[in-house]
Amino acid sequence: MDTDFLGIGYMLMLPGLALFYGGMVRRKNVLAALMHSFIPLGVITVQWVLFGYSLAFGNDIGHFVGDLSKALFTGIDFKTLSGTIPEYLFSMF
């Protein structure tokens, strides 16, 4: 429930931020300002799935960064838990 609420909150915040930035530019540049808010959402999501989650929460290398053992969510299924939350939901938070 908490992860759903946070995800919905973020998705509702993004259009507001885009409209805020759109209001600070000339009329002809509004679409570009809106895209500067929405395109990073897709790019960062793809990077997070490819290698970001694994670097953040994988087995540590030298106590600094994780390895790529969980890249593309390898080894994570719907029964894998992170605390009491399924790891798929935890990874999307």
pLDDT digits (tens, 9 = 90+) for 1-49: 576 787 788 888 988 999 999 999 999 999 999 999 889 888 998 999 9
Q: What residue segments make up the domains of the chain, in order of their start?
A: 2-92
Q: Are strands 65-66 and 85-86 parallel, antiparallel or unpaired?
A: unpaired
Q: What is the pLDDT of residue 1?
A: 59
- Looking at residues 60-65, what average pLDDT do you find? 87
Q: Supply the pTM of this predicted model.
A: 0.74
* Top-confidence range, 60-64, 70-74, 87-91: 70-74
How many whole angstroms separate alpha carbon 16 and alpha carbon 14?
Answer: 5
Res. 84 pLDDT band, cuts 50 70 90 = confident
Q: Please report where in the chains the tokens 């998705």 appear, as a residue.
A: 11
